[in-house]
Structure 1
Amino acid sequence: MADNDPAPRTPEQIRKSRNKVLALSLAAFVILVFFISIAKMS
């Protein structure tokens, strides 16, 4: 696994990148809801 060829991607790598994207979008959604609730209070 030392070669840096991006073509052969294992399912584990695909799963990791998908989990990363899912976590980032979930965090962005939570932050968005938080700021909307703060704006509605004031």
Structure 2
Amino acid sequence: MHRDHELHTRRKGRNFGLLAVLLAFIVLIFGLTVVKIQTGGFAEAFDHVSRPAIVPQDAVPEVSE
């Protein structure tokens, strides 16, 4: 058996710190995604198409035939 060099010990600590930061970021993104899906936020895609659901009724021109 051999002892790890002090440099390896410090790197291991930094690697665990980076792992914690990355896991926190992944959990944050996953949580935001779950909340968006549950609340129905951004259900209609941003595809530059007129959405009748958000147009006020008094702003819609009447069609006469």
TM-score (norm 2): 0.50
* Offset of residue 11 of structure 1: 0.6
Runs of 4+ in 1 over 2 A off after TM superposition: none
Give CA deviations for 1:4-36 in whole Å, capped at 9, x if unaligned: xxxxx8110110000000001100100010000
Structure 2 counterpart of 1:13, one-letter code: T
Structure with higher helix content? 1
Pair 1:24 & 2:20 matched: yes
Pair 1:37 & 2:49 matched: no
d(CA) in 2 for partners of 1:10 and 1:31? 32
**Superposition RMSD on alpha carbons, in Å?**
1.4
Aligned length: 35
Structure 2 counterpart of 1:14, one-letter code: R
Percent same amino acid among aligned pairs? 31
Query: Unaligned regions of 5+ residues in structure 1, if any?
Result: 2-8
Higher relative contact order, chain-length normalized (CA < 8 Å, sep 6+):
2
Structure 1 counterpart of 2:8, one-letter code: E
